[in-house]
Amino acid sequence: MAVPDEPRTRHATLSEEILQHDYRYYVLADPLISDAAYDALLRELQDIEAEHPELRTPHSPTQRVGGSITREFPTVAHDIPMLSLANTYDEEEVRDFHRRVTELLGIEQVRYHVELKLDGVALSVRYRDGNFDRAATRGDGTEGDDISANARTIRSLPLRLRTEAPSPAELEVRGEVVMHKSDFAALNREREESGEKLFANPRNSTAGTLKLQDSSVVARRRLHVYMYSLIGSVPEVSTQHASLEFMRHCGLAVNPHTRRCESIDEVIDFWRTWQEKRDALPYEIDGIVVKVDDFRQQEELGNVARSPRWAIAFKFAARQARTVLERIEVQVGRMGTITPVAHLQPVPLSGSTISRATLHNEDFIRELDLRLGDTVIIEKGGDVIPKVTAVVREERPADAPPFSFPTDCPVCGSVLQRPEGEASWFCENLRCPAQIRGRIEHFASRGAMDIEGLGEAVIDALVEQGFIATYADLYALSVHREKLESLERFGSKSVDNLLAGIEQSKSRTLDRVIHSLGIRYVGQTVARILAGHFRSLSALEAAEEDDLVRIDGIGPRIASSVIRFFQNDETRSLVHRLHDAGVTAESDTVVGEDHPFFTNRIFVLTGTLAQMTRDEARAHIERFGGKVTGSVSKKTDVVVAGDAAGSKLDKAQRLGITIIDEDSFLAQLPESPQQENA
């Protein structure tokens, strides 16, 4: 049934009115009406939509808050990586940054754009045809979590861009989500009254809030977002300054405290000013961000590793406090690392109360000559992580005893080991209760065996019930099917899915298996190198230290760690059990095989691939001696474009780079069906 003209027109008018009031209140901080008047408008809109539900759209002001959302946040790929910034606390290093920029550009002077470095959580937001489409966290910079339902609740984030500001059909913006100090204090007061654990600082509370499973709770925590980056090309926007102005015109919240600087001295003056004034702000900042203003110059400068050459974070000196060391506790980490933690007399510092601080390792304690009862200086590194930095010797009690580092694991009692050349002690008992859950979580994680359905809660339940004590036990879990189905939150279907996920993990590639074992210092990159060189777990197990250090990319510390892992009877037994269970133990491929299409060429993957994951595509490229990077530049040789390829594809077209689709990519692989049928 068609909606009559009168409610349809009123719905459109109210929606636009509320959108403008949101902009005035949450972005400009200049409301035109009272809260009561605003609430009346919103209630009227809700009433119209209740009577005519067909008028309700995902972008209606009434749709800010949903209910429960999925237990797992979907993973999304960033078309352009969300890079992190190099940072410094030193004025001379900022001047060195300026010198490098001018030398690389071949000019004497550069205009910079400087902004406050908000202490929050990075967010990427995509709009399609002016409407909110998706929001994602930074994640590892290449892939993040889709937190759209939670981001919708942020009132300063418009669900529809202002119509008077024309924008591309697809627009991506990036910014920082923060919790204001007053809201953080109120949240902690509520948690204290209800007996809940307090948050350490606003950034931690922001990160935790964005990962909550109920968006109505997120809405009550009053998060804010300030945009600082425009992704992709927008006509007539060629500088950072212009991009912020464009985002403001779109109705997006942009932090007002920015400046264009004609010299590096102006940049340093801006930093000094805000180091003094930061406490007057309603949110936490930990420095400023310095960016080359001109986009063409940014592109010319490019990136190095995971940071841009054209930007740097100039951070503030950490703030300090004095307190007393009451005791030292040693904790056991997921990989068995023993970390000493200082328990302190509580002291306020940078907006939070500090009662614990890291002491790093035994050598750190000895270098400080730290003793129980000492008066110590603590600070927050980057204003976040509390650490002890000095001892006030003149205030030391006469009977202050030195700290003796334990020789046995405080959890399982095993004798601790400190390998030669290492700063830390380790518990190498894989059955140590402090390590069991962490090692299994790592084994099942997305970058390792990627076992669907095996999250923290499931692992906790399986360990508590005694079904598993090591990751090898997962492959015997099917014998407990009936008992599993009787557990709370475990039904027949969920058990079937879990067992199917475990079974599927047996066919993961050798490099992922090596990464999943939890060998200290062996991450994904090192695992790929080892898999390509040794081609089987048995060959890796039999390797000598000299064999390992001769491999490019494998240093003495990694080599020693691999040797120690396979010298341990318990870990060797686990590896053999994995082999007996049918987990991939060999590879018929060699990283670096010569291939005329791949060898020594640089590839970029963009869009969604239908027949393989990006990790699988990367493995194929690296197997034949190619390299995969996250962004398109003049050095890129080939772009592999899947469905919904975005700005990377546009840039590749502008630069005249070779672009192929997924089928063409597969056709280049020796074992591909396309080649077999040729």
User: Residue 240 is part of a domain; what is its CATH number?
Assistant: 3.30.470.30
Distance CA 534, CA 577 (A): 20
**How many domains in the chain?**
6
Please tell me whether residues 133 and 238 are part of one structural domain. yes
Q: What is the mean pLDDT of residues 310-327?
A: 90
Distance CA 1, CA 3 (A): 6
Closest CA to 422 of 468, 332, 360: 360
| pLDDT at residue number 392 | 94
pLDDT band with cut points at 50, 70 and 90 for residue 447: confident
**CA of residue 342 relative to chain centroid, distance:** 27
- pLDDT above 70 for 318: yes
Please tell me whether residues 335 and 382 are part of one structural domain. yes
Alpha-carbon radius of gyration of the chain: 28
Q: What is the mean pLDDT of residues 225-250?
A: 92
* Range 97-101 contact pairs with CB under 8 angstroms and sequence separation of 24 or more: 97/290, 97/312, 98/264, 98/267, 100/309, 101/292, 101/301, 101/309, 101/310
| pLDDT at residue number 601 | 87
661 versus 384: the higher-pLDDT residue is 661
User: Residue 353 is part of a domain; what is its CATH number?
Assistant: 2.40.50.140
| pLDDT at residue number 677 | 41
Closest CA to 170 of 607, 650, 646: 646
- pLDDT above 80 for 23: no
Tokens of 80: 């352009």
| pLDDT at residue number 342 | 94
| pLDDT at residue number 678 | 37
SS (H, E, C) 28-62: CCCCCCCHHHHHHHHHHHHHHHHHCHHHCCCCCHH
| pLDDT at residue number 106 | 94
User: Residue 533 is part of a domain; what is its CATH number?
Assistant: 1.10.150.20
| pLDDT at residue number 38 | 72
- pLDDT above 90 for 125: yes
User: Residue 24 is part of a domain; what is its CATH number?
Assistant: 1.10.287.610
In a domain, 515, yes or no: yes
Q: Residue 380 is inside which H or E element, if any?
A: strand 375-381
Please tell me whether residues 24 and 156 are part of one structural domain. no
- pLDDT above 50 for 70: no
Q: What is the pLDDT of residues 372-402, one digit of tens each?
A: 999 999 986 544 568 898 999 999 999 898 8
pLDDT band with cut points at 50, 70 and 90 for residue 673: very low
Of 34-38, 191-195, 599-603, which gets the smallest average pLDDT? 191-195
- Give me the helix-helix angle, 524-534 and 614-623, nearest 10°: 40
What is the DSSP code string of 286-340? EEEEEEESBHHHHHHH-EETTEETTEEEEEPPPPEEEEEEEEEEEEE-TTSBEEE
| pLDDT at residue number 27 | 62
Closest CA to 114 of 134, 100, 94: 94
Q: What is the pLDDT of residues 165-186, one digit of tens each?
A: 566 788 999 999 999 988 988 8
Closest CA to 507 of 418, 586, 406: 586
Please tell me whether residues 185 and 292 are part of one structural domain. yes
Distance CA 223, CA 211 (A): 13
Closest CA to 448 of 390, 498, 517: 517
Please tell me whether residues 389 and 501 are part of one structural domain. no
- pLDDT above 50 for 275: yes
In a domain, 496, yes or no: yes
Please tell me whether residues 337 and 360 are part of one structural domain. yes
- pLDDT above 90 for 230: yes
| pLDDT at residue number 628 | 79
On whether the pTM is more than 0.95, the answer is: no
| pLDDT at residue number 67 | 41
Q: How far is CA 473 from CA 477, 482, 578, in A?
A: 7, 17, 9
Distance CA 419, CA 564 (A): 9
Q: How far is CA 484 from CA 440, 450, 491, in A?
A: 18, 21, 8
In a domain, 401, yes or no: no
Distance CA 32, CA 19 (A): 13
Active site residue: 117, 291, 315, 648, which one?
Answer: 117
Distance CA 477, CA 461 (A): 13
Please tell me whether residues 468 and 617 are part of one structural domain. no
Distance CA 179, CA 560 (A): 45
Of 67-76, 304-313, 364-373, which gets the smallest average pLDDT? 67-76
In a domain, 196, yes or no: yes
Specify whether the CB–CB gap between 631 and 647 falls below 8 A: no
Neighbours of 534 (CB within 10 A): 22
Beta strands in 65-222 (DSSP E): 75-77, 87-88, 112-118, 121-128, 131-137, 143-145, 170-179
Please tell me whether residues 125 and 274 are part of one structural domain. yes
Specify whether the CB–CB gap between 521 and 558 falls below 8 A: yes
In a domain, 383, yes or no: yes
Of 153-157, 369-373, 551-555, which gets the smallest average pLDDT? 551-555
Among candidate residues 269, 292, 315, the one where a domain is terminated: 315
Please tell me whether residues 311 and 327 are part of one structural domain. no
Neighbours of 569 (CB within 10 A): 7
Specify whether the CB–CB gap between 658 and 639 falls below 8 A: yes
pLDDT band with cut points at 50, 70 and 90 for residue 76: confident
Q: What is the pLDDT of residues 126-147, one digit of tens each?
A: 999 889 999 999 987 888 889 9
Q: What is the mean pLDDT of residues 61-84?
A: 69
Q: Residue 390 is inside which H or E element, if any?
A: strand 385-391
Of 61-75, 311-325, 660-674, which gets the smallest average pLDDT? 61-75
In a domain, 442, yes or no: yes
Please tell me whether residues 252 and 168 are part of one structural domain. yes
Q: What is the pLDDT of residues 579-589, one digit of tens each?
A: 999 998 877 55
Neighbours of 478 (CB within 10 A): 13
For residue 82, the cross-strand partners are none
Is 315 among the catalytic positions?
Answer: no
pLDDT band with cut points at 50, 70 and 90 for residue 301: very high
Q: What is the pLDDT of residues 509-540, one digit of tens each?
A: 998 999 999 898 888 778 888 988 888 898 89
Q: What is the mean pLDDT of residues 534-556?
A: 87
Q: How many Cα atoms occupy the beta-carbon half-sphere of 638 within 13 Å?
A: 20
Containing domain of residue 650, as a range? Answer: 602-676
Range picked from 34-48, 527-541, 624-638 for highest mean pLDDT: 527-541
Among candidate residues 315, 337, 372, the one where a domain is terminated: 315
Of 89-93, 387-391, 468-472, 606-610, which gets the smallest average pLDDT? 606-610
Distance CA 178, CA 433 (A): 36
| pLDDT at residue number 69 | 40
In a domain, 73, yes or no: no
Please tell me whether residues 252 and 167 are part of one structural domain. yes
| pLDDT at residue number 68 | 39
- pLDDT above 50 for 71: no
| pLDDT at residue number 158 | 92
Distance CA 156, CA 173 (A): 14
503 versus 51: the higher-pLDDT residue is 503
pLDDT band with cut points at 50, 70 and 90 for residue 574: very high
List the alpha helices (DSSP H) in 553-607. 556-567, 569-581
Mean pLDDT of the chain: 85
Please tell me whether residues 109 and 145 are part of one structural domain. yes
Distance CA 549, CA 564 (A): 14
- pLDDT above 90 for 562: yes
Q: What is the mean pLDDT of residues 607-628?
A: 78
* Helices and strands (H, E) in the chain, number of each type: 25, 22
In a domain, 232, yes or no: yes
Among candidate residues 15, 48, 63, the one where a domain is terminated: 63
